A and B are shown apart, each in its own frame.
Chain A
Amino acid sequence: MDILNEFIEVAADPGAYARRIRASGRSVIGYYCSYAPEEIIHAAGLHPIRLFGTGGDSGIADRHLQAYCCSLVRGALAESLTGRLDYLDGTVFPHTCDSIQRLSDIWRLNTSHGFFADVVLPVKLTGENARKYLIDVLQRFKRDLESYFDLVITEESMRSSIRTFNTIRSYLSEIYELKSRNPGIISGQELFSIVRTSMVMDRDVLRDKLQTLLQELRESVPGREGRGRRLMLVGNACNHPDIYELIERSGGQVVWDDLCTGTRWFSGAIREEGDPIAAIADRLFERQVCPSKHKSPTARGELLASQARKHGVEGVIFLYLKFCDPHSFDYPYLKECFKDMGIPSMLLEIEDSLPPEGQILTRIETFTQMLGPKTGAVHAETSQTGREG
């Protein structure tokens, strides 16, 4: 599939793609968080792009951040300080964890990428007061964009952007559902590239390409049989496409995830009627929650358990960046939730780069082998594809 290669190519070098966008005269706004109000950036005629830490050396971040800071935050700062983010016309920091919170300060004081905004989201995503506050925060962000870039974001452009993002999210959900039902249809690494590119590519172009891709996938006969054990990845942002291949070589296959660069980012649809900002706020309120936000003490456990059940998950790999507090606090609880369901799990803590291949392979192989004999009776429950509220 040519179209798939295009996704892989963009995912491999998002910066090169962003530079082309910028050369075409559009301003590029970057962010590190799945709570960024991308629809508002898009509605302003600017190009929203997710940033991913670094694949390179982050030593330069030592001047600002201690060694016990996660590789995403250190890598992010290193990317900026070494000039690798020269394509940015602005950055947005939605409030999430303690580390990103301080990265925002350090970024504001030490880098210059034009527009800068802290979007201080509520941490508590329950109750009318938090919802009202979230709406106010998004309205402020919209005003900030309008004033800095000297433009007006019309209600019509907001609605159009919301439709575009809804369509993109529904396509991604359906691709995930197809992969879950028929894992051999596409490799894990390919799916990784599709999601990553969806955070980078011009969204109108993306929407059409995803539609074509989805059509092909719906009709395709699986190129390879998906025989591996059905695994779910739970973790933060994944910047390691290789992990999918290593999992497949170790007798597993990823059929679902709860990742910041996965379902957490694209779950939930925005209401297309009524006030657009309130509708965007409602989706951020209701979407699959990040552990740095609060819905209820048991919200994540319940959600992940239901997803594991729905997708016939046989084992869970917690893929955590070392020093990630919100995820690490949830780990013992989530591990127990899965254990109660009879689903074993393993924890893989990673940093900038993956540990040596042999080591990871051995660990995952040991894990998939201890999952016991494959019964053949485990299948994903068939379900409605598309948007989930």
Chain B
Amino acid sequence: MREIMTEYYIEAKTADQTGKKVAWITSGGPVEPLIVMDVIPVYPENYGAMIGASHMGGDLCAKAEALGYSTDLCSYARADIACALENGGPIGGLPKPDMLICCNNICGTVMKWYEVQARLFNVPLFIFDTPFCHVDFADEARRYVRAQIDEYISFLEGVCKKKFDFDRSMEVGRLSLKGQQLWQEVLDAAAHRPSPMTAFDAFFFLALIVTLRGTDKVVNFYTELLEEMKERVSQGISAVENERYRLLWDNLPVWYRLKWLSDTFASHGACLVADTYTTAWCGSMKYIDENDFIDSMAEAYTRIYLNIGVDEMAKTIFEMIDKYEVDGLVMHSNRSCKPYSFGQYDLMRMVQEKKGIPCMMLESHMVDERSFSESQALTRIDAFMEVIRKRGPGAGTAR
């Protein structure tokens, strides 16, 4: 895994020597056409996660603040903006983009963030606009996103000065779907008691489906990973020793406290078996038609987890609670991500009413470690686990 990611970043960082073009793209963006065009996709959000995990977020965010970016803005964006200006951060910064591809299916923040980078690098910006689906996916929205796929392809043909290969897009589409299916199967392994993996493992392995979707690297790696999970299941190996309680995580990870959170929950015999975040990269497979990937990806990219109404999100959470037999819900109220976090109180109430399981909330900025209070989090986790313990292991939902 580390080797694949290292190789990927080396290729991206040496693109100027190999003559390949580099595109910066949002994590939920339609990357497959870039792969078809031999463009190297680079993900500032994946990079943001690296920044967070290497505890460089606080310093970089502070640098962005010195430039006038408010401390209340997304910490991925702040850290990335600071890195781009000074080639700082892990791996000496990201390779400069030849183009920017921004899909707003995850938030409005990415549009503002990519506008900043478009001014800085003075390169073409393509915005793939996916209308928000509060209750449904309207016909006019369907036509609009479909038309933008053609717009996107002509944009790429213009920047790359070559034709789009539709035959190759079939193959890339097939690999993308296969990668998503395997990712879902890997995550599904956690439904087993005891779970062979935790959400913290998923946060780590997620990097591939995000950055290399549409390539055989993902397919090969997840095939092996799935075998490993099956092996662990068959041998009864658990990710958390003496797993007693199973929890669901909501929102992005707190990237600079992964280990601490993992250990803290494990010390209570609790395994975070699943999360709404990593599932988002395989959550809209049902809309993909393998034989018509380019057409069907319009819908799949529009109806992802973050681009739907709160009540629609609740349905996904209910399903996960049942599927993974969850005893409690841990919500990360993420100051960096308003579209993910606003609505969490309503979701919490819906979960308590419909599923009767305890819920708790932790607050942070996902890569700005200055915003996190360990002692406060610990108090909350202890209190929450006390409630879970009183209900007893496997109490699950109020069925």
Contact = CB atoms under 8 A, between A and B. Distances in A.
A106 B343 contact: yes
A328 interface: yes
Contacts of B125: 297
B108 A102 contact: no
B221 interface: no
Interface string A309-334: 00000000000001101101111110
Size category of the binding interface on chain B = 35 or more
B151 A120 contact: no
B310 A292 contact: no
Contact of B310 (A109, A129, A328, A333): A109
Interface string A71-87: 00100000000000000
B372 interface: no
Nearest to A332: B68
Tier of interface size on chain A: 35 or more
Given A123-B129, A124-B129, A322-B72, A136 B143 contact: yes
A154 to B, nearest CB: 23
A335 interface: yes
A297 B338 CA distance: 22
B115 A294 contact: yes
Nearest to A300: B115
B73 A294 contact: no
Nearest to B335: A68
A304 interface: no
A322 B67 CA distance: 17
A80 B277 CA distance: 32
A38 B147 CA distance: 28
B119 A297 contact: yes
B70 interface: yes
A102 B339 contact: yes
Interface string A85-118: 0000000000101110111111011100000001
Interface stretch (B26-34, B134-142, B229-237): B134-142
B118 interface: yes
A121 to B, nearest CB: 8
Contacts of A331: 68-70
A102 B140 contact: no
B345 A63 contact: yes
A178 interface: no
Given A123-B129, A133-B143, A136-B140, A328 B72 contact: yes
B338 A120 contact: no
B279 interface: no
Contacts of B132: 95, 101, 118, 120
A329 B69 contact: yes
Given A120-B134, A123-B129, A137-B140, A98 B107 contact: yes
A298 B122 CA distance: 11
B109 interface: yes
A103 B132 CA distance: 13
B60 to A, nearest CB: 15
Contact of A325 (B73, B129, B134, B310): B73
B341 interface: yes
Contact of B144 (A68, A133, A322): A133
Contacts of A102: 310, 338-339, 342-343
B394 interface: no
A129 B119 contact: no
A291 interface: yes
A298 B125 CA distance: 12
Contact of A291 (B68, B74, B107, B112): B112
A66 B342 contact: yes
Contacts of A68: 72, 335, 338
A109 B144 CA distance: 27
Contacts of A347: 68
Interface in B334-383: 335, 338-339, 341-346, 363
B284 interface: no
A223 interface: no
B104 to A, nearest CB: 6
Pick from A63, A73, A323, A325 the residue with the most CB of B within 10 Å. A325
Contacts of B107: 98
B111 interface: yes
B116 interface: yes
B72 A329 contact: no
A95 to B, nearest CB: 6
Nearest to B102: A294
Nearest to B342: A102
A333 B118 CA distance: 12
B131 interface: yes
Contacts of A120: 131-132, 134, 138, 141
B342 A109 contact: no
6 contacts: A64-B345, A124-B129, A297-B116, A325-B112, A326-B112, A331-B70
Interface of A: 63-66, 68-69, 73, 95, 97-99, 101-106, 108-110, 118, 120, 122-124, 127, 129-130, 132-133, 136-137, 140, 291-292, 294, 297-298, 322-323, 325-326, 328-333, 335, 347, 349
Given A105-B343, A120-B141, 9 more contacts: A95-B132, A103-B342, A123-B129, A132-B143, A137-B140, A297-B116, A325-B109, A331-B69, A333-B119
Interface of B: 67-70, 72-74, 77, 104, 107-109, 111-113, 115-116, 118-119, 125, 127, 129, 131-132, 134-135, 138, 140-141, 143-144, 147-148, 151, 309-311, 333, 335, 338-339, 341-346, 363
